[in-house]
Amino acid sequence: MTEDLVRELELLREFGFTHLDISGGPPSSAAAAEDRGAPQSDLLAELQAVVTVCEKCRLSKSRTQVVYGVGSPNADLMFIGEAPGREEDIQGEPFVGRAGQLLTDVIKAMKLTRDDVYIANVIKCRPPENRNPEQDELDACRPYIRRQVEIIQPKVIVTLGRFALQSLLEKSYAISSVRGQWLDYNGIKVMPTYHPAYLLRNPAAKKEVWADMKKVIAELERSASDSKDGRPRSE
Ligand code: URA
Ligand code: SF4
């Protein structure tokens, strides 16, 4: 019990909570972290309770609601975008606007559905007028996406656009030079590709994204057959 409480407090501190209001308490209490072997869905829900009331950056002031993430808690494939837009802010779900429709089409083209994968953003609250996220906002929100990855343990992550990649890996890249090349995040393969909003403006770049997705499909097939053979998943 004490151990669980300590772990819960560590988790909250990692997310930037420096003090606890014990009168109301944080929305996720020690009970949520009680089982170390808790299913991923419980762990995601526990984190969601924290993120839903987050006020760590100025974007909390202008949001309608937090856009946490959707999909399968044990997805092999995770898509990570930038930040909610207008539709996402209204509906509370990532990638449901025009760019989202394009992403959904990409997922379908991979012979998957939105329920098979997990979709989230590196910024959980809509920036006003869809402006670019600022560095301190990316820093404040980063622990959440990293924890989502840690819980879900996907085999492959696809980052959409420059901010998703830069924030997850905390490193600056020129997207045009790294897209299509495998990168690594804590032993998980990362495929950087263009953001679907960019594809709306530059439809010709769709073929590059599709080439990247073919690499992703091949990697998912490879890791699935490895695990069937009982071989370890990396190598
Ligand atoms: N663009 C993003 O990066 N994320 C969304 O959820 C919607 C649009
Ligand atoms: Fe918190 Fe992230 Fe929203 Fe900022 S963008 S208030 S860090 S959830």
Same domain, 34 and 110: no
Number of domains in the chain: 2
Please report whether residue 81 resides in a domain.
Answer: yes
Same domain, 24 and 49: no
Q: Who contacts 81 (Cβ-Cβ below 8 Å, separation ≥6)?
A: 94, 95, 103, 119, 120, 121, 122, 160, 161, 164, 195
CA of 85 to the centre of ligand 2 (A): 14
Domain limits for position 173: 40-229
**Tell me, what's the pLDDT at 217?**
98
Q: Whose CA is nearest to atom 3 of ligand 2?
A: 125
Q: Which atom of ligand 2 is nearest to the CA of 55?
A: 6
pLDDT in tens, 62-93: 999 999 999 999 999 999 999 999 999 999 99
- Say if ligand 1 is within 6 A of residue 143 CB: no
Task: Give this prediction's pTM.
Answer: 0.85
- Which of these, 205, 224, 73, 51, lies nearest to 140 by C-alpha position? 51
H/E stretch holding 191 reads: strand 188-193
Q: Whose CA is nearest to atom 2 of ligand 2?
A: 141
pLDDT in tens, 13-44: 555 555 554 444 444 444 444 446 789 999 99
- Of the chain, the percentage scoring pLDDT greater than 70 comes to 82
Please report whether residue 114 resides in a domain.
Answer: yes
Same domain, 84 and 164: yes
Same domain, 62 and 86: yes
Same domain, 47 and 7: no
Which of the ligands is closest to the CA of residue 147?
2
Same domain, 131 and 157: yes
Mean pLDDT of 3-12: 55
DSSP 36: T
